[in-house]
Chain A
């Protein structure tokens, strides 16, 4: 095996075209692995079948022996978020899977009367069913027993205005995206973060010196420092299990196959087919997130099928690897350094010599 570089392919001389962003057909090869490296693997998280059971979170915590924390990342505290059934809150050093939970409503026009039985409003019915005294007493009984105004908040059947509310729950198991161009990997000054032979991005705990630079460099806010430890932690896609031919713990535990693990190209084909199926069924809002290899991170190793805008789930709508603009930054820094030297020289030369 040749030397594995933790630097961006742009600086290993192996990639003349797609330097700091854009698609990379062979991520592992760009990182220095031989041609016989395993295929790039990934996660396809199909949120349309997620039931929010959090088996993935539990399996991840158990396998990776992650410490307990509350929804703000405070260690060894049981804390309720108080906003939803999501008490994990976010991805972090101690939560490498996070099931987002969003409750949504929408109002829809239903061509229904507010009271009465189906067919009551039909003009051509032979005998009107509201004529009988029984029906009238039934209606008054309903009125007296049910607080119709309160119920209309919850029960579409008692809505009074002809508009009704629908409710749905969005659940999505978020995870590290194992980006093609990973900001965390690019900025790590120690080489603690590296690209594995599976194309994933992993932190070496014995190298990390806790500089924290990767934390704000992730456009998804995945990697985080464990305060009492000082080092950073994130999803490894169960690197230890992969090397033994096993699937990651979360994908193994998922009861609905919402989390699918496999070779990335196979998953992408499966996701495209799933999206086509959902669209054909009339799920207009379904979309793939992180699937596009021309996006800001060159496509994600872990991508998603979402049912609403990414930011609804706490995902950035258009993430871009921060190093894409690095050449412009180094140019500015060079120009600014030259400016200092220039100003200092003219200040010295322009000043009257003492004595």
Chain B
């Protein structure tokens, strides 16, 4: 084969092996997925610098960050539930939701601070406020939320200042929704291909996953006659989580791939099973004590596994230069052909 000046790159190829290895060609693995789902991803040809990643994978630690996401989601949704249960006179559900919300809030702060490279400087997070930094906005959501939710739970536990409880609970509920969903922005506002591509979906995945976890945990802890709202929120959250996650896993061509493969794929398949089983069990047996406990545990486990799975998928997409180069090449090609790319990454 003769390559002259007219071929792309004037025919130059990296000189380290037979031609087949010079352009790295990877075929996505066909097997290993239940249901025989066919991947709609064509094999990608791309060039890289010795296969090294182009972007740096996040330095966030696991399990700190996935746990933080899980706890933040559960705390946020259960704080809203607590405030509404309080206003509609459901004392046991109010109390348990406040415990879940306060405990998860305080624990999530601990995990977030532990993840810092310089934990003793965590207060630097509140030095400035920057709308372009989801972590800055998140700090201003988490700080008042954890203070209010933690204080409300403590007051509930100790039985002091009964009038302040309702106020604290409402303050926490105001920040609860943003706390559960801003983490989707936190992940997608990075150059990590599989997170950034799903930037319109991840807030819904995390918010819905938070509802499933919060609903599941409060349902498991509360008497069944008061836990109706928990059951409904848990089932709705699980359904939305499954639907949103289905989009993330299938709508984004090659950058959806990491959600199916390896560790992330295993975690997300387990997450789906737990969430679906938990939701089904809630409907069938949620009004029985044992059923509520098992279903709640399954929903919480599903939510936790979803966070770990999404985290791992992003890490995998950052480590492989394919996921950075191929979508950007597609974007360039689409621009040259004069039409907008179908997917913005």
Contact = CB atoms under 8 A, between A and B. Distances in A.
A, B bound: yes
Given A183-B191, A314-B49, A231 B117 contact: yes
Interface stretch (A25-33, A96-104, A267-275): A96-104
A318 B331 contact: yes
Contacts of B196: 322, 325
A47 B89 CA distance: 72
Contacts of A186: 130, 132-133
A103 B15 contact: yes
Interface stretch (A125-133, A143-151, A218-226): A218-226
A294 to B, nearest CB: 11
Given A102-B14, A106-B10, A187-B132, A311 B58 contact: no
Contacts of B53: 221
Interface stretch (A3-11, A37-45, A50-58, A236-244): A3-11
Nearest to B186: A213
A167 interface: yes
A78 interface: no
A163 interface: yes
A343 interface: yes
B210 A340 contact: yes
A284 interface: yes
A189 B130 contact: yes
Interface stretch (A114-122, A253-261, A346-354): A346-354
B56 A103 contact: no
Given A7-B132, A107-B11, A333 B324 contact: no
B47 A311 contact: yes
B250 interface: no
A188 B133 contact: yes
A328 B325 contact: no
A212 to B, nearest CB: 4
Given A189-B130, A219-B191, A329-B200, A208 B177 contact: no
A218 B127 contact: no
Which range holds the interface residue count of chain A? 35 or more
Interface stretch (B79-87, B151-159, B162-170): B79-87
B328 A104 contact: no
Contacts of A332: 181, 184-185, 199-204
Interface-central residue, A92, A311, A350, by most chain B CB under 10 Å: A311
B204 A216 contact: no
Interface in B43-90: 46-50, 52-60, 76-77, 80-81, 84-85, 88-90
A211 B318 contact: no
A344 B84 contact: yes
A168 B12 CA distance: 8
Contact of B59 (A219, A225, A329): A225
B190 A209 contact: no
B160 interface: no
B182 interface: yes
A319 interface: yes
Contacts of B4: 108-109
Interface-central residue, B191, B196, B206, B344, by most chain A CB under 10 Å: B191
Given A314-B48, A325-B199, A189 B207 contact: no
B185 A326 contact: yes
Interface in B99-145: 115-119, 121-122, 124-125, 127-128, 130-136, 138-139
Interface-central residue, B4, B49, B77, B229, by most chain A CB under 10 Å: B49
Interface-central residue, A340, A341, A348, by most chain B CB under 10 Å: A340
A173 interface: no
B16 interface: yes
Contact of B118 (A10, A208, A308): A208
B121 A337 contact: no
A350 to B, nearest CB: 6
A318 B328 contact: yes
Contact of A329 (B13, B81, B192, B203): B203
Nearest to B210: A340
B225 A336 contact: no
B324 A7 contact: no
B58 A216 contact: yes
B77 A216 contact: no
B77 to A, nearest CB: 6
B309 to A, nearest CB: 17
B178 interface: yes
Contact of A347 (B50, B139, B229): B229
A105 B12 contact: yes
B240 to A, nearest CB: 7
Contacts of B270: none
Interface stretch (A61-69, A83-91, A134-142): A83-91
Contact of A354 (B192, B226, B344): B226
26 contacts: A106-B3, A187-B132, A189-B125, A191-B127, A191-B130, A192-B124, A210-B117, A211-B125, A213-B133, A230-B117, A312-B47, A313-B49, A318-B328, A325-B199, A326-B132, A329-B200, A332-B181, A332-B203, A334-B178, A337-B207, A338-B177, A339-B208, A340-B211, A341-B80, A347-B229, A347-B232
Given A215-B58, A224-B59, 18 more contacts: A6-B128, A10-B132, A106-B3, A106-B10, A208-B117, A210-B118, A215-B57, A215-B59, A230-B118, A311-B48, A314-B321, A332-B200, A335-B204, A336-B208, A339-B207, A348-B84, A354-B90, A354-B226
- In the A-B complex, the 7 residue pairs with the closest CB atoms: A210-B117, A230-B117, A314-B49, A351-B228, A337-B177, A209-B121, A347-B232
